Amino acid sequence: MKLIMAVIKPFKLEEVREALTPLGVEGMTVSEVKGFGRQKGQAEIYRGAEYMVNFLPKVKLEIAVKDELVPQIVETIQKTAQTGKIGDGKVFVSQLEEAVRIRTGESGQDAL
């Protein structure tokens, strides 16, 4: 099993989720994060003082999937989350050794 972690622009979340369901992704865990990268935040002004916002709001998806699915999932995320503008985000893949479904105690791929 692999753990796919994707950082995307917030407003792309729904789209990505919908695109993944047909591929058999039955679950995911999402968190609000702030991203720092090439994309520079706009210069803001507060009461006459200029300042840079370095961290931009992003959404992080964590999806555990069986190995076979990884390529198409990664590709689908990449395609769907893409706007072509800087700051679109990343997809990371890492190895997952075990997964357990708390409700049933099932483990391995059945837990996903």
Interface residue with other proteins, options 18, 40, 51, 75 (CB under 8 A): 51
Q: Are 1 and 96 in contact (CB under 8 A)?
A: yes
Question: By C-alpha distance, which of 74, 73, 70, 63 is closest to 31?
Answer: 63
Which letter does DSSP use for residue 84 in this model? S
Q: Is 17 one of the binding residues for a second copy (CB under 8 A)?
A: yes
Out of other proteins, ligand ADP, a second copy, none, what residue 56 binds, judged by CB under 5 to 8 A for its kind, is: ligand ADP
Question: With 0-12 CB in 10 A as exposed, 13-18 as middle and 19+ as buried, what is 73?
Answer: buried
State the binding partner of 95 from ligand ADP, other proteins, a second copy, none, CB within 5 to 8 A by kind: a second copy
Contact set with a second copy (CB under 8 A): 2-3, 5-8, 17, 26-38, 54-55, 58, 60, 62, 64, 74, 77-78, 81-103, 105, 111-112
